Amino acid sequence: MPSLDTRARCHAPRTTPLVWPVSLSLRVSGVIAFSLAAFTGCSDSTTTADTTYDNPIGTHTASAVAVVGPGEGGVSVTPKRVTEGYFVADIKVRLRKAMPNTTYIIQRAPEIGRALASNGICERALGLSPWSSADTPAPAFVTFVPPGQTAPVAVTTTAAGDGTTDFEFRAPTIPAGAKFDVMFRLINDGSAPTAVILSQCFTVTVL
């Protein structure tokens, strides 16, 4: 069974500007209404902490920006090769100037098992075919939850609205060599969020 360990830290703020793709900003309002679901798989991370926010150190990185409420930051996914031959990755999440003293639940919309899995669009997060309401039902975003627990993986901000967390994710159902698009989402409430931060769409390659 997968396991998870997260660590919250706070670092000096970044000074580089956040760039947001026009194509995503035009569609992002439709993402907020999508449903939530639990997602499994993680364990203790051995990655080295870094102090960047919008694009933390990692193999695959993406900036993030608030679409409801304040904040910005970034995520990174660094796949690792394992003898079992499935997806294992170190994940980093960074926030800056988000809601102060707030716990953000970490979610993602991985495109696994359907067409257009790695075309760089993130149809699942945007509610487009083959992940639309007319297709086989599936939640737009799924929450990282440690196995055997009910509390989701989260990052809690400081009084300044900054926060970080690192964790390892394991998904035995995703084989080595697979490629898939993903978008991350951070929300302050699982049922009625008043703060929503979305990452850019990016493509992950499993080692």
**pLDDT per position as a tens digit, 87-121:** 999 999 999 999 999 999 999 999 999 999 999 99
50-75 mean pLDDT: 88
Residue 145 has pLDDT above 60, yes or no: yes
Residue 17 has pLDDT above 70, yes or no: no
Tokens representing 183 are 């978008």
Mean pLDDT, rounded, of the chain: 82
**Residue written as tokens 């690792």?**
80
Residue 3 has pLDDT above 50, yes or no: no
Give dist(CA 171, CA 81) in Å, integer: 13
Confidence at residue 53, expressed as pLDDT on a 0 to 100 scale: 60
Confidence at residue 54, expressed as pLDDT on a 0 to 100 scale: 61
> Which is more confident, 8 or 104?
104
Tokens representing 157 are 């901000």
Give dist(CA 35, CA 31) in Å, integer: 9
Q: Could you tell me what percent of the chain has a pLDDT over 90?
A: 70
